[in-house]
Amino acid sequence: MPIVPTPHASARAECFVESVIREMTRVADAHGAINLAQGFPDFPAPEALKEAAVEALRADINQYAVTWGAPSLRGALAEWLRRRRGVEVDPDTRITIVCGATEGMIAAMLGVLDPGDEILIPEPFYENYGPDCILSGAQPRFVPLAEGFRLDPEALEAAVGPRTRAVVLNTPHNPTGRVFGREEIEGLCRLCHRHGLLLLTDEIYEEILYTGPHRTLLLEEGMDERTLVVSGASKTFSVTGWRIGWVISPESLTSGVRKVHDFLTVGAPAPLQEAVARALAWDDAFYDGLRAEYRARRDLLVRGLQEAGFRCETPEGAYYVMTDVASFLEPGEDDAAFALRLVREAGVATVPGSSFFADPARGRTWIRFCYAKRLETLEEAVRRLGAWASQRPACSS
Ligand SMILES: Cc1ncc(COP(=O)(O)O)c(C=O)c1O
């Protein structure tokens, strides 16, 4: 009998591990812990949005939409961008509707970068960007944020080489909760101009911030022609399972993104595109309410964490708190072991900080909490963490 090799995964797929964030959700479920790990709400989506989806299904909008997005959604999005972001975008030439910002980022990378192109990624970073680079053949250069999780212009400049083609920016930022300020953004844009770089901005938390309205990178001088904005409905409308996202690209790059999107997924769910189109027409009161609710959740969690002895800053946006747990670690314990211990001992699941760093050692003392949860959920989590912290022996390392 000839020896037949065992089937194996591709070398490319072997280059990255399963998502730690999604794994922590399974660990939480297995232990009956409160899941403050993965970034999704435990509260219902807006009633009017669900009604709009039901109507679309009843109207038999069940077949493929136009691959790059239903005209109704692209039109509604262009109008929304004019009203809420102050930018004019042609829906026919610059908007591609995709299956969530997740697909948006990989379609953008595959559509505009060549294998071997280098891409700068400020670190810590949302874990998907690593596999996105591997799948698209781009070489990531991770550039640590400076003290206070600030963009570091000198470090970014020093990381630019002859093959650098793009920078990934995520603001409001997961996992740190930073909303990058004027000076940081202007510095980054100058870098892009100086070196002719593209900017891939992940603005998925654009409506969840506490420091004033979001300013899209498309508004920065001269950036319109070199910026691809990735965003979507998941976070704004509390529908992470609907998989409706978008990419706004310069006209010259749109066909690259659209062709990749077409062959990856054909299109985003047709009836849900119609529902999101309706939601984009809601007035500003919806966003004021969303922000007020998230502010209350943030304040509850940050206060509770600080009272329990966790070291953290108050986030400016998104719905995460990054906490330094150095004082809680037992000798030899790292963030992953600590996160598992917190599930077992306190009944609260978080994400180990190392999943946001290229070198896990750099995230060894951090964990991330998500507060996209009902106030009752957060109250119970805070109660559990307080009880757990009060039973601990005096701090170790
Ligand atoms: C920074 C960032 N980008 C993208 C996503 C995924 O967005 P979507 O559900 O639209 O794929 C997340 C989800 O947590 C995120 O934190």
| Contact yes or no for 113/138 (Cβ under 8 A) | yes
- Which residues, 6+ apart, have CB-to-CB distance to 188 below 8 Å? 151, 153, 156, 167, 169, 180, 199
369: which strand partners?
321
Nearest Cα neighbor of 101 from 213, 29, 201, 8 is 201
Residue 15 sits in a domain whose CATH number is: 3.90.1150.10
- Altogether, the residues listed in the chain come to a count of 397
54 shares its domain with 36: no
Domain span at 212: 47-282
Rounded distance from Cα 213 to ligand 1 centre (Å): 20
Task: Please choose from 169, 174, 273 the residue to mutate so as to test ligand 1's pocket, defined by most ligand atoms within 8 A of CB.
Answer: 174
334 shares its domain with 278: no
Task: Please choose from 99, 234, 247 the residue to mutate so as to test ligand 1's pocket, defined by most ligand atoms within 8 A of CB.
Answer: 234
Nearest Cα neighbor of 111 from 327, 261, 281, 336 is 261
C-alpha span between 82 and 203 (Å, rounded):
16
Tally of structural domains, the chain? 2
Task: Kindly state the tokens that stand for 313.
Answer: 């800053």
159 shares its domain with 272: yes
278 shares its domain with 321: no
Rounded distance from Cα 241 to ligand 1 centre (Å): 11
166 shares its domain with 248: yes
Distances (CA, A) of 344 to 33, 43, 340, 372: 8, 25, 6, 22
| Contact yes or no for 106/132 (Cβ under 8 A) | yes
Distances (CA, A) of 16 to 20, 47, 121, 131: 11, 39, 17, 6
Nearest Cα neighbor of 222 from 247, 241, 250 is 250
- What phi-psi label fits residue 60: left (phi over 0), alpha (psi between -120 and 50 degrees) or beta? left
- Which residues, 6+ apart, have CB-to-CB distance to 180 below 8 Å? 150, 151, 169, 171, 173, 188
Task: Let me know if residue 4 belongs to a domain.
Answer: no
The pLDDT tens digits along the chain (397 residues) read 788 888 899 999 998 888 888 888 888 999 999 999 988 899 999 999 999 999 999 999 999 999 999 999 999 999 999 999 999 999 999 999 999 999 999 999 999 999 999 999 999 999 999 999 999 999 999 999 999 999 998 999 999 999 999 999 999 999 999 999 999 999 999 999 999 999 999 999 999 999 999 999 999 999 999 999 999 999 999 999 999 999 999 999 999 999 999 999 999 999 999 999 999 999 999 999 999 999 999 999 999 999 999 999 999 999 999 999 999 999 999 999 999 999 999 999 999 999 999 999 999 999 999 999 999 999 999 999 999 999 876 544 4
Rounded distance from Cα 375 to ligand 1 centre (Å): 22
294 shares its domain with 197: no
Q: Supply the DSSP symbol for 210.
A: S
Rounded distance from Cα 245 to ligand 1 centre (Å): 9
Total H helices, total E strands in the chain: 13, 12
117 shares its domain with 205: yes
| Contact yes or no for 278/52 (Cβ under 8 A) | yes
Residue 82 sits in a domain whose CATH number is: 3.40.640.10
Q: Which atom of ligand 1 is nearest to the CA of 102?
A: 11
C-alpha span between 34 and 36 (Å, rounded):
6
Three-state SS for 124? coil
Give the residues surrounding ligand 1 with Cβ less than 6 Å away. 39, 100-102, 126, 170, 174, 202, 204, 232, 234, 240, 245
